[in-house]
Amino acid sequence: MDIERFVADCIEANDGDHPQAAVLEVLSPAIGNPDAMLAAVGAPTEAGIKVLHSSRSLTIFSATWAPQMNLMPHNHLMWANIGIYTGREDNILWRETPGRIEAFGAKALFAGDVVALPVDVIHSVTNPLPRFTGGIHIYGGDFFNTTRSQWNPETLAREPSDGASIRRMFELENRRMRSRDDARY
């Protein structure tokens, strides 16, 4: 797996008439060999985001979820293609109702699986495993500089979200993991 070639192919695919479908055609075979993708991006050792490409029209990163990490319901306001190269990612799909959101579906992704999420998706993510999960996330826009929404996991109240708030969640997860590991010794 040549990660630079993969990114270049995604950028080229994004310039077509149906960018999400074209980019998914690049992602699917790359994730179809999860061991090669894992070797290309490296085995996860902490929760985080490793940016592979970021522009106004396309963002590509490797996201790693800590063991038992949960990410509250959130939207993207742009299409997303996600492929898992190690572990498992459970998604709960949500829809807006008057005054709140409600769950209406779920999708479990295992190593080698890909999913295309529409512009208006709201989902929450859980890594149910006692080990790290890693995936390639591709967004049809500037993921880090787009103000989006997230929903409080207890109240389901809407809150603002952006790249900085997402990074803070990963930092908190890494602190949680370190404190859990410290408690063992």
How does DSSP classify residue 66?
A: P
Domain residues for the domain of 36 are 3-184
Tell me the HSE value of 12 on the side-chain side, using a 13 A CA sphere: 9
pLDDT reading at 184 higher than 80: no
How does DSSP classify residue 68?
A: T
Dihedral sign, Cα of residue 33, residue 111, residue 144, residue 92: positive
Distance (Å, whole) CA 83 – CA 135: 5
For 109-159, the pLDDT digits (tens) are 999 999 999 999 999 999 999 999 999 999 999 999 998 999 998 999 899
CATH code where residue 77 lies = 2.60.120.10
Q: What are phi and psi of 93, to 5 degrees?
A: -95, 135
Distance (Å, whole) CA 45 – CA 87: 13
pLDDT reading at 185 higher than 70: no
Total of domains in the chain: 1
